[in-house]
Amino acid sequence: MTIPTVTLNNGVAMPQVGFGVFQVPNDETEAAVTAALEAGYRSIDTAAVYRNEVGVGRALAKSGIARDELFITTKLWNSDHEQPVEAYEKSLERLSLDHVDLYLIHWPTPERDLYVGAWQGLEKLYADGRARAIGVSNFLPDHLARIVALGGTVPAVNQVEVHPALQQRAVLEADARLGIATEAWSPLAQGAVLADPVVTTIATRVDRTPAQVILRWHVQQGRVVIPKSVTPSRIAENLDLFGFDLTGDDLAAIDGLERDGRVGPNPAEFNGA
Ligand code: NDP
């Protein structure tokens, strides 16, 4: 199966669908990532704080898939904003890789106000050719503005919570204006929108599952998605998004599901260690 890619602002191609492993225990991660690779995923999204980089690395090594066919993302945790290079090296060690394709600042943690320095650390990693692309996660427009104002590297990606119940229009607009690709985390709202009649009605008509309809709503608008599942049939289903189209009316009907449906922390307030 060929997975479409989006071209990042530095020319690197990123698969439009990846596999997320948040909340997958390390000892279950190898099996989940193996199932994802077997289903055809080539992009895996982990983070130092998920404590499962070792499991991801084991599955990658065991797969025998060539490194240049894989797209691996990991993230700098909040308590490491003052030592990004050292934290990166530790992540690589756990992953048993010599580079990742995308390294992200996980949260801006605005109260600590250390993300500008952290970004300069990521810029150094990138300038030294140690990561193929660098970006941010959970950055709101004012956080993006501060790092873009440095005049250095513009983030390639902003990975943020986006789904029908939280559409983040201001963030999407800022990303688009700055040439930053938007990657949707919790793209299925952790399941919260799957039983909505708007979604199930469309799913019945196009003969797809509700999850496929929601993921298609994202990819048809150019976003990268990283659905998580530990269920093999869902892992496969979530990648099978490219044989059908939603109409403009379908997209608008799903847009109409916007509500205060945040499933994760608010980046303006989250300063978790
Ligand atoms: P998702 O929106 O991907 O939802 C995952 C949930 O939906 C699981 O309970 C899963 O169940 C269920 N599910 C998955 N596929 C289907 C399907 N086809 N039909 C029905 N139910 C389904 O939420 P996540 O919060 O896991 O987000 C995805 C990824 O985003 C994470 O793994 C992580 O990589 C990233 N993320 C990043 C964050 C950040 O701060 N940067 C924060 C949170 C997430 P089951 O597993 O039992 O099959």
Ligand 1 pocket, 81 CB below 6 A?
Answer: no
- Say which CATH topology domain 11-193+223-230 has: TIM Barrel (3.20.20)
Question: What local confidence, expressed as pLDDT, does residue 1 receive?
Answer: 76
Over residues 80-132, the pLDDT tens digits come to 999 999 999 999 999 999 999 999 999 999 999 999 999 999 999 999 999 99
Kindly tell me if the per-residue pLDDT of 220 is higher than 90.
yes
- 5: nearest Cα among 170, 135, 183: 183
Q: Ligand 1 pocket: which of 223, 228, 262, 266 to mutate (most atoms <8 Å of CB)?
A: 228
88 catalytic per annotation: no
User: What is the residue extent of each domain of the chain?
Assistant: 11-193+223-230
Question: What local confidence, expressed as pLDDT, does residue 272 receive?
Answer: 85
Over residues 16-68, the pLDDT tens digits come to 999 999 999 999 999 999 999 999 999 999 999 999 999 999 999 999 999 99
Kindly tell me if the per-residue pLDDT of 210 is higher than 80.
yes
Ligand 1 pocket, 190 CB below 6 A?
Answer: yes
Question: What local confidence, expressed as pLDDT, does residue 74 receive?
Answer: 99
Q: Which residue's CA is the closest to the ligand 1 atom numbered 34?
A: 20
Ligand 1 pocket, 109 CB below 6 A?
Answer: no
Work out the mean pLDDT of the chain and round it to a whole number: 97
pLDDT (average), residues 235-264:
97
Kindly tell me if the per-residue pLDDT of 273 is higher than 90.
no
Measured in Å, residue 96 CA sits from the centre of ligand 1 at 25
Question: What local confidence, expressed as pLDDT, does residue 32 receive?
Answer: 95
Measured in Å, residue 128 CA sits from the centre of ligand 1 at 33
